Amino acid sequence: MKINVLFSPATADELYFTGKTTVVIDVLRATTTIVTALQNGAKEIVPVATVEFAVKISGGMFGGQTLLGGERNTKKIEGFALGNSPLEYTEEVVSGKAIVLYTTNGTKAIAKAKFSETLVTCSFANISSVASFLSGLNKDVEIVCAGRSNNFSMEDSVCAGKLISEISKLNEELYLSDSAKASVALNKSFGKNILKMLEESEHGNILLDNGFEEDLKYCSKLNSSSAIPYFTGNVLKLYTDNKNSSQTGKEN
């Protein structure tokens, strides 16, 4: 089982992902928000790469059961029901709803990886579940760090390293690329105190400046969810393991 990490979605094109097993990570905040929304009963998340497309499909396809969510430069987009704070995606708000989600980095990275054979999202909230899922598949894995404006971000890379460390506990025969080895080392250097790492990161600083201190605390929680957001038919849904559905959190 080979594991590779892309520190930026910019280093690969859409076709690179064809037929691959891919994990997208955007700790601050898209993939933390996605797992929270699905855990809280959202029917599905539609990740989109442009605001225009988000507005277009929310108007027609989904009727009254659709919410528009997302952010540009950390702030909620005008006319959208929700921003990109996972704390907004409570059961009361999202239960039973389809959510069309646009974010600056995360949903773009998911959309880019859409030709993957298997595509799931990960954050600190669900590392353990995603590690079990990938280890069970036992296929080569590409981990895509959404980063920030195509640049490296510490939090996504540390999360990738922690995910690889978890997989290595379940699967002894791992071949790690340079970037995968680097991620594991970064998790050892910075992953012991996740909240501190987030607070000292570039993106964390911007969120703190914009009043999202509680979001950082929430995004730093490790394995608070057993849900696995799984991309199928252009939407993210909760992954259901038919053999043992209790492993994968709240099911629809």
End-to-end CA distance of the chain: 31
Out of 63, 178, 209, 233, the only residue in the binding site for its own copies (CB under 8 A) is 178
Determine if 199 is a binding residue for its own copies (CB under 8 A).
no
Query: Mask 123-152, x = binds its own copies (CB under 8 A)?
Result: ---------------------------xxx
**Which of 18, 95, 140, 185 is close enough to bind its own copies by CB under 8 A?**
185
- Nearer of residues 182 and 222 to its own copies, judged by Cβ: 182
Q: Measured between alpha carbons, how far is 203 from 41 in angstroms, rounded to an integer?
A: 28
Nearer to its own copies, 52 or 140 (CB): 140
Q: Does 168 contact its own copies by CB under 8 A?
A: no
**Size of the chain, expressed as the number of residues it contains:** 252
Does 157 engage in binding with its own copies (CB under 8 A)?
A: yes
Strand partners, 87: none
Residue 229: burial class (beta carbons within 10 Å; 0-12, 13-18, 19+): buried
Distances (CA, A) of 153 to 9, 94, 148: 12, 29, 6
Q: Is the CB of residue 100 less than 8 Å from the CB of residue 111?
A: no
Q: What whole-number distance in Å separates Cα of residue 211 and Cα of residue 171? A: 41
Q: Which of 1, 3, 5, 163 binds its own copies (CB under 8 A)?
A: 5
Among 21, 107, 116, 179, binds its own copies (CB under 8 A): 179
DSSP-assigned beta bridge partners for residue 144: 6, 24
Nearest to 228 by CA among 86, 41, 39, 93: 39
Q: Which C-beta is closer to its own copies: that of 18 or that of 151? A: 151
With respect to its own copies, which residue has the nearer C-beta, 16 or 115?
A: 16
Report if residue 195 touches its own copies, rule: CB under 8 A. Answer: no
Cis peptide before 72 (omega within 30 of 0): no
- 177 contact partners, CB below 8 Å, separation of at least 6: 2, 3, 4, 5
In the complex with its own copies, which residue's Cβ is closer, 90 or 149?
149
How many positions of this chain bind its own copies (CB under 8 A)? 26
Query: Which listed residue (58, 153, 226, 248) binds its own copies by CB under 8 A?
Result: 153
Examine residue 17 and tell whether it contacts its own copies (CB under 8 A). Answer: no
Min separation Cβ 101 and its own copies, Å: 24
Q: Given the rule CB under 8 A, which residues bind its own copies?
A: 5-8, 10-12, 150-154, 157, 177-179, 181-182, 185-186, 188-190, 201-203
